Amino acid sequence: MPFEILHFRGSDKILEEKNMTREIELAMEYLNDCLYGSYRKGELLRQALTEMDFRQNGDLNILDGRRYFYKGFRKKVAIDGSFSSYEYIQDALLRLQIGFDKGKIDMGIVLVTAQRSEKSKLGTTRDLIFQEIEMLHPTISLPVTIVLFDLGKPGELYEQAESSTAPVMANVPEAEKVESKSVEEPPSMETSPDSDQANTGVDEHYNAEVVAYHEALKNKKKPRAKSKKAVLQEQAAA
């Protein structure tokens, strides 16, 4: 599973009471789809939470008069976190604890990356979270849900897109390639020294007509106006 949801201090019960259990699961799935393999995770995170209506349902401000904001907020449930490094979990917990102590939120949700150095001797990220939640108590005492994301490496999404759109014509017969090219790129009606010999007949036929047309306009003589004498003679004869 690309993400894992961990509940502490009865946060799962609070979500059930607020009828938000399934809603949070779907929100995390959507975040994973939006952020996987991307570069600008912070900007995409805000956009995704806005689309899911987590940034228009209450005051995101943590401290009055200061520009500290949660990432999302709904039904007194605040969302905070960062995918830049696992260590941000402590900052997020502190920010959520402030809102909990002030009675602004009932619980918090922390979004954090599950990726850590392979050389770490502290075990898996999941085990480390359980240890740190216990170590931070009683300083951090709010009900909290922590969501671990494995979002791949930055740019992986674009590399996959490029590989999926790589040339697939290698195994196509040459005749089908020529036919496909003729359908997608109709021959130009303008000739050039580098034009393909296959299109020469069409181009020459078309340009011969154009040249003939302009030559006809050029050589066409305008009718001369009749002289006054000729007009008088015609009138007398009538």
In a domain, 236, yes or no: no
On whether both 69 and 149 belong to a single domain, the answer is yes
Number of domains forming the structure of the chain: 2
User: Which structural domain range is residue 132 located in?
Assistant: 3-159
Query: What is the structure's pLDDT at 19?
Result: 97
Query: pLDDT of the chain along its 238 residues, tens only?
Result: 589 999 999 999 999 999 999 999 999 999 999 999 888 888 999 999 999 999 987 679 998 888 899 999 999 999 999 888 888 999 999 999 999 999 999 999 999 998 876 677 788 899 999 999 999 999 999 999 999 999 887 766 566 666 666 555 555 556 555 555 554 544 444 444 444 444 444 454 445 555 555 565 555 544 455 555 555 565 565 5
Kindly state whether residues 35 and 101 are assigned to the same domain.
yes
Domain C-terminal end among 125, 143, 159 = 159
* pTM as predicted: 0.65
The separation between the first and the last C-alpha atoms of the chain, rounded to the nearest angstrom, is 105
- Pairing mode, if any, of strands 72-74 and 144-149? unpaired
Same domain flag for 115 and 215: no
Classify residue 55: in a domain, yes or no: yes
d(CA 17, CA 10): 11
Q: Do residue 106 and residue 140 come from a single domain?
A: yes
Q: Give the pLDDT of residue 154.
A: 75
Angle between helices 125-136 and 88-101 (to 10 degrees): 40
- Of 142, 159, 176, the last residue of a domain is 159
| Listed residues 159, 176, 203: the one ending a domain | 159
Query: Does residue 111 lie in a domain region?
Result: yes
CA distances from 99 to 17, 63, 146 (A): 20, 8, 17
CB 102 within 8 A of CB 82: no
Asked if residue 21 is part of any domain, the answer here is: yes
Query: Are 212 and 146 within one domain?
Result: no
Does 150 lie in the same domain as 36? Answer: yes
Q: What is the pLDDT of residue 109?
A: 98
Do residues 127 and 34 both lie within one domain? yes
Same domain for 123 and 191? no
Let me know whether 123 and 15 are in one domain.
yes
Same domain for 69 and 18: yes
Q: Does a structural domain hold residue 125? A: yes
In a domain, 149, yes or no: yes
User: What pLDDT score was predicted for residue 46?
Assistant: 93
153 and 193 in a single domain? The answer is: no
Kindly give the interhelix angle for 41-51 and 21-35, rounded to the nearest 10 degrees. Answer: 140
Query: Whose structure tokens read 């201090």?
Result: 9
42 lies in some domain? yes
Output the domain CATH number for residue 123. Answer: 3.40.91.20
Whether residues 19 and 114 share a domain: the answer is yes
Residue 202 confidence (pLDDT): 45
> Does 139 reside within a domain?
yes
